[in-house]
């Protein structure tokens, strides 16, 4: 998501607090809690009976907990679990990091997830991650297998794969490398090239591209998510650090996915404009016993009516 410039800091802080209250009231009986991950404070929201098995939802690059739709959570609760959402470091109400002083990696973001489980006293959870969150989920299944009851990787790419190479070739007008996974769709590259000014309107336009042209785009729902994210962010610009973290050298990302033992489902739309279906197929091929669910017409986000409930039904429990 794009950074937004704030106005008066003190007034903005009050407005964010009020908006956060409205956000919590709108969540599915959400109970908020901050947990410690080293020196950082990670904001979390828990829904459902805390005595039930937990699903940890991990959102993508620069994405707050609010990008996990309530409709998805409601459907998961009906399946007999509790659901925990959280704000990654540098997003939402979680701690902001000075990346120049304390650079971090995807592995560090994954350790925040373990801190969330520790904060709730959970020995393990069903883990579901979307996009970059799917890479983080793979990391957990490889490096902390005892904490992962099941694994669901949504709209993602294999851990250790660098999708920026294919995107750079496409942006330069070069043909795709036949030995690499495919680049993003032209519509997504065109949006990037347009250089729209940062703000909610630009992000709504981006989410329209993310949604893809097949399924209807619920603009009102996308706008509500994006406005909520803006209103509750401690520092909206800090989310840009995720891209720096995603491409920072991290040897732990090179561990083989063949070591994953958790029951695994891969959920990927056949209309994903950011990470085309071949990325999801590659994840499924690399993980022993993984089941691939191809969602017709789905893009890179859950902003089409009925889609959050559909995806919730595919999350591995």
In which element (H, E) is residue 80 found?
none
- Residue of 131, 155, 202, 228 marked active site: 131
CA pair distance 317, 216, nearest whole angstrom: 28
Q: Could you confirm whether 300 is annotated as catalytic? A: yes
CA pair distance 273, 173, nearest whole angstrom: 17
* Strand 125-130, strand 54-58: pairing: parallel
- Residue of 94, 265, 300, 304 marked active site: 300
Vertex 48: Cα angle to 118 and 139 (nearest 5): 40
Phi, psi torsion values for 130, nearest 5 degrees: -115, 135
* Strand 31-37, strand 40-47: pairing: antiparallel
Please tell me whether residue 85 adopts helix, strand or coil conformation: strand
Residue with tokens 């036949």: 178
Is 286 in contact with 258 (CB distance < 8 Å)? yes
Residue from 40, 5, 211 nearest 119 by CA: 40
Complete DSSP assignment for 127-168: EEEETHHHHHHHHHHHH-GGGEEEEEEES---TT--THHHHH
Secondary structure letter of residue 234 according to DSSP: S
Secondary structure letter of residue 88 according to DSSP: P
* Strand 54-58, strand 31-37: pairing: unpaired
E-strand ranges in 38-88 read: 40-47, 54-58, 82-86
- Residue of 272, 279, 293, 304 marked active site: 272
Phi, psi torsion values for 31, nearest 5 degrees: -120, 120
Q: Could you confirm whether 272 is annotated as catalytic? A: yes
CA pair distance 158, 180, nearest whole angstrom: 12
Catalytically active residues are 131, 272, 300
């Amino acid at each position: 998501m794009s950074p937004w410039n704030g106005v008066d800091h003190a007034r903005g802080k009050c407005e964010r607090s009020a908006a956060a209250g409205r956000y919590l009231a709108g969540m599915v009986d959400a109970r908020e809690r901050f947990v410690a991950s080293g020196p950082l404070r990670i904001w979390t929201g828990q829904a459902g009976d805390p005595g039930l098995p937990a699903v940890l939802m991990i959102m993508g690059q620069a994405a707050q907990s609010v990008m996990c739709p309530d409709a998805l959570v409601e459907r998961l609760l009906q399946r007999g679990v509790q659901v925990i959402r959280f704000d990654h470091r540098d997003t939402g109400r979680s701690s902001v990091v000075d990346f120049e002083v304390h650079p971090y990696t995807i592995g560090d973001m994954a350790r925040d997830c373990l801190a969330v489980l520790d904060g709730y006293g959970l020995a393990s959870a069903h883990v579901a991650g979307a996009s970059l969150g799917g890479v983080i989920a793979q990391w957990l299944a490889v490096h902390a297998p005892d904490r992962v009851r099941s694994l669901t990787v949504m709209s993602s790419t294999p851990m250790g794969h660098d999708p920026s190479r294919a995107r750079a070739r496409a942006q330069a007008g070069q043909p795709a490398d036949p030995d690499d996974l495919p680049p993003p769709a032209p519509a997504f590259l065109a949006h990037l090239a347009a250089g729209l000014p940062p703000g909610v309107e630009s992000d709504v336009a981006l989410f329209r591209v993310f949604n893809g042209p097949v399924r209807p785009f619920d603009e009102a729902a996308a706008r509500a998510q994006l406005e909520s994210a803006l209103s509750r962010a401690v520092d909206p610009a800090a989310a840009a650090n995720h891209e720096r973290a995603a491409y920072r050298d991290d040897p732990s990302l090179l561990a083989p996915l063949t070591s994953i033992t958790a029951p695994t489902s891969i959920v990927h739309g056949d209309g994903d404009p950011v990470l085309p279906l071949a990325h999801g197929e590659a994840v499924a091929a690399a993980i022993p016993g993984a089941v691939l669910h191809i969602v017709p017409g789905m893009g890179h986000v859950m902003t089409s009516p009925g889609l959050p409930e559909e995806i919730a039904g595919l999350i591995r429990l």
